[in-house]
Amino acid sequence: MTPPVIEFAGVGKRYPGPPQVTALRPADLVIRRGEYAAVVGPSGSGKSTFLNVAGLLDRPSEGVYRLDGIDTAGLDERDRTALRGRRIGFVFQSFHLLPHRSALENVMLSMLYTGVPRGRRRAKAAATLDLVGLAQRAHAPAGRLSGGERQRVAFARALVNRPSLLLCDEPTGNLDTATAGTVLELIAELHADGFTVVVVTHDPGVAAGAQRAVVIRDGTLTEAEPRAPAAGVAQVGEGG
Amino acid sequence: MTRDRRRTRVVRPTRLSVRDAADEAVAAVLARPARAALTVLGTLVGVAAFVAVLGLTATTSGQISKRFTALAATEVMVEDAPADPALADPGFPPDTEVRLTRLNGVEAAGVHWEASAGTDGAEAEVSARPPSVRREPGEPLTVVAASPGYLEAIHATVGSGRLYDTFHQKEGQRVAVLGKAAAQRLGITRLDHQPAIFIGDTALTVVGIVEDVRRRPETLLSVLVPSSTAALLWGEPGGAEGRPAKVLIETRLGAAQLIGGQAAVAIRPDRPERLKVTAPPDPRQLRDQVTTDLGGLFLALAGICLVIGAVGIANTTLVAVLERTAEIGLRRSLGARGRHIAAQFLSESAALGFLGGLAGTCAGVGTVVAVAVARDWTPVLEPLTVLPAPLVGALTGLLAGLYPAWRASRIEPVEALRR
């Protein structure tokens, strides 16, 4: 059994309001290293809240969240930021690339804050672009890339620091069906390469590609029926 | 305690090196070159005005001091001011000129006083005719007893004839030199028949007519007589009638202050306190005064331009923060802390200010050189004002970026990524 990457113990999120809104009901969830999980639910179900809490962009109101075995509750903002920058790779629906910079420079941006020596950044970024099949477009400005290419650059940027967790927010949301298919193939390849992938999506089709699906509805996380023999044990349930 | 916290840190903190921040700033400025160019205009004008004003005032005051030093600043006056006016002994020894010209920096020096040739202190009556044959009174003209050195010191140039010299002085010759206006009033226009003038009953041969002087223009309306001759005819200067002798010294450029300090001792080493020395004001002080007077106003204008420039940069940076909220969110997700975001926007505004400052410095230097060339002046640019000028721009940008950077650092990543 591989060690857990995401470990929720009664993690919930309430917004004080008024009116008070419970965006994520207290739940337990474990996602282990090497897993490919999808968190699927309609809009307004609490997907974004889950993503923000899991991605250390927001603090839970209750419960204990361990990332890579580190209890994040006791960390100050500086440590949370460091943990986020070094252990989590984000892929966003709207790519969030800097349009005036080349694909390579966009990938290099990921190493700006993590202390990778300047001399090594270019080579690492080029190698990662090669990994996502975009080596030939490395010097094209991001603003001139197609949607699929942009998302590949975003994947390369998320991967270049070899994060423990790849957190994808609607990664195919802005892509046509054919391009979405190639992006899903890329995710599957990354999973096969050993990356831990969590995809947050409203699209059951995207979730279908995942090894494991967690349904979120009205802020409640529920484990869907397993479709494949689990690589690790995952438990989802109502927490206290 | 800090050490304990450091020891317990679970993850190595993220960082942003100065070089990376600078690179990011340059990349951000280059990403929108047109906007950057428009943004820096205010700073450009401000710094250009700053450099041009300082350069032009330095250039102008250089010109002023050049002209000033050429005449007034090379003139030192020494007066005989005895504590007891009735003192009989003459204030200036006969070899005063020799004593002074020995000093390094003295070009010429001469003793002079108004000779008491008239009766009861009135101006002497001077005529071209002997008293025995004339019917009308003579012209009331000033008779100046002056040593040959004095004529040299006032830069007297002769229209006709010649100036008297050390021979005339030594021998007490009865000669006179007329100022141009005095000669006209006496009706003397030619010297070829060696005309004489009569001061009272005394006849003096006119040896020359002074056409022009560069100092003491009143000389042109005077009769100049060798001081030794005047002393023989009308007595030594000073005394009860109170026409004290003076010494006019012409110095080399820049030596006036020095000679002012040495003259009294050189002339009367026994009683230097008897002599009152008047040296011109230090030209450096005058120049500084001019610089302060002119510069103050224009520097205030330059300051206003810089403030306008700063407001421009602040405005653009604030707009950029709002526009680039998503980018801020992205950077936060990549490990940037609030202070890294602040540093990035501060670097950008400082870079904009620096660029404006650099372009403004070039424009300011160009203005000073262009004006100097047009006026045929020597451009004067102090390195101390020109070299830090781009940094003034950078500082303006830095100050302008403080508020936008603070705003940017306070944006929560969750909020930013929603954009």
The amino acid occupying position B28 is A
Give yes or no for A144 touching B (CB within 8 A).
no
Contact A45/A216 with Cβ under 8 angstroms? yes
* Judgement on whether residues B165 and B302 belong to the same structural domain of the protein: no
Contact B272/B362 with Cβ under 8 angstroms? no
Averaged pLDDT for residues B386-390: 88
pLDDT one-digit tens code per residue, B152-177: 999 899 888 899 998 998 888 899 99
Residue at B402 is within a domain: yes
Map residue B403 onto helix, strand or coil: helix
Nearest to A8 by CA among A52, A79, A44, A60: A60
Given B243, B270, B302, the domain boundary residue is B243
pLDDT at B127 over 60: yes
CB contact under 8 Å between B12 and A86, yes or no, is yes
* Judgement on whether residues B57 and B97 belong to the same structural domain of the protein: no
Cα torsion for A58, A62, A63, A67, to the nearest 10°?
10
* Beta bridge mates, A102: A141
CB-closest option in B10, B15, B413 to A79: B10
* Judgement on whether residues B134 and B239 belong to the same structural domain of the protein: yes
Given B209, B243, B277, the domain boundary residue is B243
Residue at B264 is within a domain: no
* Judgement on whether residues B355 and B385 belong to the same structural domain of the protein: yes
Averaged pLDDT for residues B56-82: 73
- Name the residue of chain B whose CA is nearest to A167's CA: B333
Residue at B74 is within a domain: no
* Judgement on whether residues B232 and B149 belong to the same structural domain of the protein: yes
* Judgement on whether residues B62 and B150 belong to the same structural domain of the protein: no
CB-closest option in B10, B14, B16 to A70: B10
pLDDT score at B70: 62
Q: In B, which residues are within 8 Å of A79 by CB distance?
A: 9-11, 13
Averaged pLDDT for residues B343-372: 92
Given B213, B243, B273, the domain boundary residue is B243
pLDDT score at B58: 78
Contact A50/A58 with Cβ under 8 angstroms? no
* Beta bridge mates, B21: none
Count of other CB atoms within 10 angstroms of residue B384 = 8
Q: Which residue has the higher pLDDT, B68 or B128?
A: B128
pLDDT score at A226: 61
- Name the residue of chain B whose CA is nearest to A108's CA: B334
Residue B236's alpha-carbon distances to B87, B112, B131, B231, B340, in angstroms, are: 12, 11, 25, 5, 88
Backbone angles phi, psi at B213, to 5 degrees: -135, 155
pLDDT one-digit tens code per residue, B277-287: 888 766 566 66
* Judgement on whether residues B92 and B205 belong to the same structural domain of the protein: yes
pLDDT score at B295: 65
Between CA B367 and CA B374 the distance in angstroms is: 10
Give yes or no for A118 touching B (CB within 8 A).
yes
* Judgement on whether residues B295 and B384 belong to the same structural domain of the protein: yes
Element counts in chain B: helices (H) and strands (E): 16, 11
Which among B9, B11, B419 is the top mutation candidate for probing chain A, defined by the most A β-carbons within 10 Å of its own β-carbon?
B11
Query: Among positive and negative, which fits the CA dihedral B353, B354, B359, B360?
Result: positive
Q: What is the mean pLDDT of chain B?
A: 83
- Name the residue of chain B whose CA is nearest to A57's CA: B414
Which of A121-125, B2-6, B8-12: highest mean pLDDT?
A121-125
Residue at B119 is within a domain: yes
pLDDT score at A113: 94
pLDDT score at A233: 40
Between CA A79 and CA A83 the distance in angstroms is: 6
Nearest to B129 by CA among B187, B55, B210: B187
Alpha helices in B199-269, H assignment, sequence order: 227-234, 256-267
**Structure tokens that stand for B406 in this block:** 């603070």
Element of type H or E holding B166: helix B166-171
Q: In A, which residues are within 8 Å of B24 by CB distance?
A: 112
CB contact under 8 Å between B24 and A112, yes or no, is yes
* Beta bridge mates, B197: B204
Averaged pLDDT for residues B223-238: 85
Q: Which domain holds residue B367?
A: 16-67+285-418
Q: Which of residues 67-96 of A touch B (CB under 8 A)?
A: 70, 75, 77-79, 81-88, 90, 92, 94, 96
Between CA A86 and CA A84 the distance in angstroms is: 6
* Judgement on whether residues B93 and B162 belong to the same structural domain of the protein: yes
Averaged pLDDT for residues B111-123: 72
Which among B18, B333, B348, B415 is the top mutation candidate for probing chain A, defined by the most A β-carbons within 10 Å of its own β-carbon?
B333
Give yes or no for A115 touching B (CB within 8 A).
yes
* Judgement on whether residues B340 and B395 belong to the same structural domain of the protein: yes
Lowest mean pLDDT among A96-110, A226-240, B84-98, B299-313: A226-240
Longest dimension (CA), chain A: 52
Cα torsion for A171, A113, B412, A33, to the nearest 10°?
50
Residue B83 burial (10 A CB sphere; 0-12, 13-18, 19+):
exposed
Element of type H or E holding B304: helix B283-323
Give CA A219 to chain center in angstroms: 18
Tens of pLDDT along chain A (240 residues) come to 889 999 999 999 998 878 888 889 999 999 999 999 999 999 888 898 999 999 999 999 999 999 999 999 888 899 999 999 999 999 998 889 999 999 999 999 999 999 899 889 999 999 999 988 889 999 999 999 998 899 999 999 999 999 999 999 998 888 888 888 888 888 998 999 899 999 999 988 888 888 899 999 998 898 876 655 444 444 454 443
Backbone angles phi, psi at B184, to 5 degrees: -60, -45
Longest dimension (CA), chain B: 124
Among residues of chain B, what percentage have pLDDT more than 90? 24
CB contact under 8 Å between B335 and A81, yes or no, is yes
- Name the residue of chain A whose CA is nearest to B30's CA: A100
Query: Among positive and negative, which fits the CA dihedral B15, B17, B20, B25?
Result: positive
Q: How many structural domains is chain B composed of?
A: 2
Residue at B198 is within a domain: yes
Contacts (Cβ under 8 Å, ≥6 apart) of B115: B124, B143, B144, B145, B225, B230, B233, B234, B243
- pLDDT bucket at B64, cuts 50 / 70 / 90: low
pLDDT score at A201: 92
Give CA B120 to chain center in angstroms: 45
Residue at B107 is within a domain: yes
Residue at B318 is within a domain: yes
Q: Which residue has the higher pLDDT, B350 or A236?
A: B350
Backbone angles phi, psi at A135, to 5 degrees: -60, -35
Distance from CA of A209 to the nearest CA of B (A): 26
* Judgement on whether residues B372 and B227 belong to the same structural domain of the protein: no
Q: In A, which residues are within 8 Å of B16 by CB distance?
A: 112-113
pTM reported for the whole predicted model: 0.66
CB contact under 8 Å between A82 and B14, yes or no, is yes
pLDDT score at B258: 84
Residue at B309 is within a domain: yes
Averaged pLDDT for residues B365-376: 89
* Judgement on whether residues B130 and B234 belong to the same structural domain of the protein: yes
